[in-house]
Amino acid sequence: MNIGILNAGGDCPGLNAVIEGAVGAATARGWTVYGFYDGFEGLLSTPDNERWRILTRANCLNIRAQGGTILGTVNQGNFTVKSGVGGRMEIAKEVLDRSRETVERLGLSALIVVGGDGSQTIGMELRKIGLPIVGVPKTIDNDLGATDYTFGFWTAACVVSTNLDRLRTTAYSHQRMMVVEVMGRHAGWIGLYGGISGGADVILIPEIPFTLEDVVRKVELLKALGQREIIVVVSEGATIGGKLITLDEETKGEVRLGGIANFLSTKLETITGIETRYCVLGHVQRGGSPIPFDRVLGVRCGAKAVQLIEEGKFGETVALRGVDMESMPIEDAVRTLHLVDKQSQIVEAAREIGISFGDESLQA
Ligand code: F6P
């Protein structure tokens, strides 16, 4: 049997682990694995411009430890799901036809799509034209309702934590405040876990509206207590008065997030008089080697995807529930975003240890 695998959307630590897991489980069954280059674009291969290669146990050996993806990936491209007539999501018919041709020409019995909600939505469109799709959820943002944790998230949280340790020492030396911007889109998981782990004094996330006054109050209290360094973590998707602070306007219908740390540090320095610097951690959160948890989760996702193929469960995606790998329909998986619950125990624990979410006056 021949199967294909591709990853699409932003890269994520652990993608290579998924590939290695799938290749290991598939080749153990005597199957051949086609790895498509550059996301869905690889499906637009033609005999004189093939955009795939055969993946074997030997050429994937220990790639689980490598960051990025050996297959490359594309965020925007020919498969960008466009909002067509009546808000319907559409991929051009020619693109769908060419994808089907490739799958038929290579004799693929299944295609594993590793991606976030956008890529899984594209996978559903391919499923609708009859392609045998199995999904694997992917994102550092940890915002997919399908699964308790996505691989890559804990690596990103570790990067935040490690860098807060570094920023703390320089902030201490200079008696400065550091405003540190982290990724996560509209979910605060990276800010929350990275911030708690790295000892942030204030954590500002999209799910908990904050006021500048509350942040200032907390900062001034810490100063009055004699704390030399102050660390404020802010998620790129956090809002002020319900408004996103971004550098860019819409890019192909999707706002490119980023810029709130700059804005906030200027405001906080002006109001408090404390010398302040900002730091945008950016794509370092996505790069580099995955931590052990993400390697293990990645290979489990790959192996589980192969099991789903064997069971003929097309249109399903792999999901981590508790400690078990399970599966669910892709359409259910992309329906809900997994966001931080502001009443949850983790938020409560953070508050207990003195972390401010900048919302104290809103709680009263
Ligand atoms: O979804 C993952 C993510 O890293 C977000 O946290 C971030 O907003 C976005 O991708 C960045 O995308 P790009 O790589 O296109 O700049």
What average pLDDT does the segment 125-146 reach?
A: 96
* Half-sphere exposure in the Cβ direction for 259 (13 Å, CA): 12
Query: Lowest-confidence range among 52-61, 250-259, 334-343?
Result: 250-259
Query: What are the residue numbers of the active site?
Result: 141
pLDDT in tens, 8-39: 999 999 999 999 999 999 999 999 999 999 99
- Residue 30 CA, chain-centre distance (Å), reads 32
Confidence of residue 241 (pLDDT cuts 50, 70, 90): confident
| Ligand 1 nearest-atom number relative to CA 140 | 2
pLDDT given for residue 249 in this prediction:
60
CA dist., res. 138 & res. 151, Å (int)? 6
Percent pLDDT > 90 in the chain is: 90
pLDDT in tens, 195-222: 999 999 999 999 999 999 999 999 999 9
| Contact indicator for 146, 320 with CB cutoff of 8 Å | no
| Ligand 1 nearest-atom number relative to CA 116 | 1
Q: How far is the CA of 145 from the centre of ligand 1 (A)?
A: 18
Predicted confidence (pLDDT) at residue 238 exceeds the cutoff of 90:
yes
Helix, strand, coil percent content, the chain, rounded in steps of 5: 40, 20, 40
What average pLDDT does the segment 131-149 reach?
A: 95
The beta strands (E) that lie in the chain are given as: 2-7, 32-36, 52-55, 82-83, 89-90, 108-115, 133-137, 177-182, 202-204, 230-235, 239-240, 243-244, 250-251, 254-255, 276-280, 316-321, 324-329
| Ligand 1 nearest-atom number relative to CA 10 | 14
pLDDT given for residue 84 in this prediction:
47
Give the angle subtended at the CA of 151 by the CAs of 3 and 110, to the nearest 5°. Answer: 15
| Ligand 1 nearest-atom number relative to CA 190 | 6
Strand order in the sheet with 133-137: 52-55, 32-36, 2-7, 108-115, 133-137, 316-321, 324-329
CA dist., res. 247 & res. 261, Å (int)? 11
Q: How far is the CA of 213 from the centre of ligand 1 (A)?
A: 29
Q: How far is the CA of 185 from the centre of ligand 1 (A)?
A: 7
- Residue 110 CA, chain-centre distance (Å), reads 25
The enclosing H or E element of 192 equals: helix 189-197
Instruction: Tell me which amino acid residue 172 is.
Output: Y
Confidence of residue 334 (pLDDT cuts 50, 70, 90): confident
pLDDT given for residue 364 in this prediction:
74
Confidence of residue 242 (pLDDT cuts 50, 70, 90): confident
Predicted confidence (pLDDT) at residue 347 exceeds the cutoff of 70:
yes
> Would the pTM count as exceeding 0.75?
yes
pLDDT in tens, 169-200: 999 999 999 999 999 999 999 999 999 999 99
| Contact indicator for 88, 308 with CB cutoff of 8 Å | no
- Residue closest via CA to ligand 1's atom 15 equals 10
- Residue closest via CA to ligand 1's atom 8 equals 185
Determine the residue of 186, 190, 248, 286 to mutate for testing ligand 1's pocket, defined as the one with the most ligand atoms within 8 A of the Cβ atom: 286
Confidence of residue 363 (pLDDT cuts 50, 70, 90): confident
pLDDT in tens, 152-174: 999 999 999 999 999 999 999 99
Neighbour count for residue 335 (Cβ, 10 Å) = 11
pLDDT given for residue 89 in this prediction:
65
The tokens for 223 are: 């100063």
Q: How far is the CA of 230 from the centre of ligand 1 (A)?
A: 27
pLDDT given for residue 255 in this prediction:
81
pLDDT given for residue 80 in this prediction:
80
Instruction: Tell me which amino acid residue 55 is.
Output: L
The mean predicted confidence, pLDDT, of the chain is 95
Tokens 């069971």 — which residue?
A: 311
pLDDT in tens, 43-100: 999 999 999 999 999 999 999 999 999 999 998 789 987 554 445 568 999 999 999 9
Q: How far is the CA of 183 from the centre of ligand 1 (A)?
A: 7
Give the angle subtended at the CA of 108 by the CAs of 318 and 33, to the nearest 5°. Answer: 70
Pocket (CB within 6 angstroms of ligand 1): 10, 75, 139-141, 183-185, 236, 257, 286
What average pLDDT does the segment 313-320 reach?
A: 97
